[in-house]
Amino acid sequence: MSLDRQNVGTLTVRVPGLPEPIKFAEWRWDRIWATVSFTDGDSAKREFFIGTPGQQIPGGDRTLTDIDTNIPRSGDAGLPIDWEMFVFSIRTRILRVVGTPEDDPQPSNLDPDSLDSDTPNRRMWFELDRKISLEMKVNNKTRNQGRFEDYPSAGGLVVVTNNLSETYCNNGIQSPRDGFALVIPIHLRPNVSYKMVAQPVETLALSQAQIVDDQDVGAIVAHSVSKAIGLST
């Protein structure tokens, strides 16, 4: 029996929570992510998904790269025309902790000669999780709220070491099945703004022992990443 490719149908399913049937030929399973920066002494809010590669990182002076964000355009303008996304999972992670020399208050782009960076320890996680509220907004309307621990990363580094002084703290276990799952997906549409707001409720006291270029550290900067995972077209 031969396959008549001119008359091949398209698999269409109706997913609970979605307003219309999904044609799998038109969609893909994907993710978007964005990074912001918090500095010791910060109390100002940060907005994830605002800014594209080549622009300034929210909360810092360095330039966003493809490893910091992959959004097609800034979320305050919404998705481009003919783009659409149903977000089934929101995941967060404290990506790295950066120390800066006293004469340079902001780190440059991952330059080992000008900064020292490390994985976050338990104290850093505790400070950020207890003081920062997170709020996913679409068209300036709140769609979901929580803290970092409410949006586990479901992935990340697994550290195996015999160094008793080494610590590493990850947001949840490294299992894709253990990410935060939305019962009703969040619908992202063309030209409709979206962002995730991170608002410190008190001044951040970020402290993680580091030395940069054999100098005293002038500030501690924590880079946080947020991911939205779901169907996109």
- Cβ burial of 39 (10 Å; 0-12, 13-18, 19+) is buried
Residues of the chain above pLDDT 90, percent: 30
Please report the pLDDT score of residue 80 as a whole number: 92
Confidence of residue 19 (pLDDT cuts 50, 70, 90): low
Residue of 69, 38, 60, 59 lying closest to 202 (CA atoms): 38
For residue 126, which phi and psi values (nearest 5 degrees)? Answer: -60, -40
Per-residue pLDDT reduced to its tens digit, 90-117:
888 888 887 765 555 555 544 444 456 7
Cβ neighbors of 179 (< 8 A, separation 6 or more) are 89, 91, 152, 153, 154, 172, 229
Question: What is the torsional sign of CA 153, 157, 162, 166?
Answer: negative
Which of 5, 24, 2, 4 minimizes the C-alpha distance to 13? Answer: 24
- pLDDT tens profile 135-169: 999 999 999 999 998 888 877 666 666 776 666 67
Tokens coding 14? 């109706």
Asked whether the predicted pLDDT for residue 77 surpasses 90, the reply is: yes
Instruction: Decide if 211 contacts 117 (C-beta within 8 A).
Output: no
